[in-house]
């Protein structure tokens, strides 16, 4: 079973690439951001707490996100594998994730990190905000805050997987198909 952590700052193209990867490699895809947004929309208890944390571009608490992921994994026994998009985002989440996966005799296969510079990220996110109306993509201030949160709290998660020999960085610029080609070349090593 392939457990791919698709990593990178907001706007790096994780969602876009995940759509292509899941088709080609027959994987499931979970985006913690999407799950949280749907809980906010449904006005669940969890959604109400998350909404406040999310609005300024900060992270939702580890406890809440780890709980969501435990739920997801409890339904995944025997599945083909998953692309984890937007998770783990802190070292505490990465540590908890290893434990959760080992409980179902699984582990992270590889982390693929998409590298894109900050000005390009801001440009892409503002465009996405215009097209989608997603609140945290519409304000440059919130976007820059999300990137700072990524630099301060999330970027370090790559060290966790680097130490395990599971970290691969990819150039996240160019056409969608170019980037997908780079990702596929890595993933093919795990599917043969
Ligand atoms: P995303 O769609 O991945 O850009 O996530 C949107 C927002 O959801 C983030 O800015 C966070 O507030 C929240 N979020 C998503 N995934 C996580 C996570 N793994 N840990 C904490 N907060 C998260």
The domain locations on the chain are: 2-179
pLDDT, position 191: 85
Contacts of 120 (CB under 8 A, 6+ apart): 11, 173
Q: Which of 22, 37, 124, 146 is catalytic?
A: 146
pLDDT, position 78: 66
Identify whether 128 is a catalytic site residue: yes
pLDDT, position 46: 92
CA separation for the pair 79, 119 (Å, rounded): 38
Which ligand 1 atom minimizes the distance to the CA of 61? 21
pLDDT, position 188: 96
Identify whether 14 is a catalytic site residue: yes
Residue owning the nearest CA to atom 19 of ligand 1? 87
Residue owning the nearest CA to atom 2 of ligand 1? 33
The stretches of the chain forming alpha helices (DSSP H) are: 14-25, 32-41, 45-55, 62-74, 91-103, 118-132, 140-149, 157-163, 176-191
pLDDT, position 16: 97
The contacts found for 100-108 with CB under 8 angstroms, 24 or more apart, are 100/66, 100/69, 100/70, 100/73, 101/3, 101/73, 104/73, 104/76, 104/77, 106/1, 106/3, 107/3, 108/3, 108/5, 108/161, 108/164, 108/166
Indicate the pTM of the whole model: 0.96
Identify whether 24 is a catalytic site residue: no
Residue owning the nearest CA to atom 14 of ligand 1? 33
What is the CATH code for 2-179? 3.40.50.300
Q: Which residues of the chain have pLDDT under 70?
A: 77-78, 192
Q: Cα-atom radius of gyration of the chain, to the nearest Å?
A: 16
pLDDT, position 79: 73
């Amino acid at each position: 079973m392939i457990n791919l952590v698709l990593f990178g700052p907001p706007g790096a193209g994780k969602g876009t690439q995940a759509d292509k990867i899941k088709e080609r490699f027959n994987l499931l895809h979970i985006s913690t951001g999407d799950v949280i947004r749907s809980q906010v929309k449904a006005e669940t208890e969890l959604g109400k707490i998350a909404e406040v944390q999310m609005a300024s571009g900060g992270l939702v608490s580890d406890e809440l996100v780890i709980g969501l992921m435990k739920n997801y994994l409890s339904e995944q026994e025997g599945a083909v594998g998953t692309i984890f998009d937007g998770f783990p985002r802190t070292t505490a989440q990465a540590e908890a994730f290893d434990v959760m996966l080992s409980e179902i005799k699984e582990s992270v296969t590889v982390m693929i990190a998409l590298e894109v510079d900050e000005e390009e990220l801001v440009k892409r996110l503002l465009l996405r905000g215009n097209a989608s109306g997603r609140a945290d993509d519409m304000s440059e201030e919130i976007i820059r805050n999300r990137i700072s949160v990524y630099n301060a709290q999330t970027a370090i998660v790559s060290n966790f997987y680097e130490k395990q020999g599971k970290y691969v960085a990819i150039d996240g610029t160019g056409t969608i198909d170019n980037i997908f080609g780079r990702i596929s070349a890595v993933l093919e090593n795990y599917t043969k």
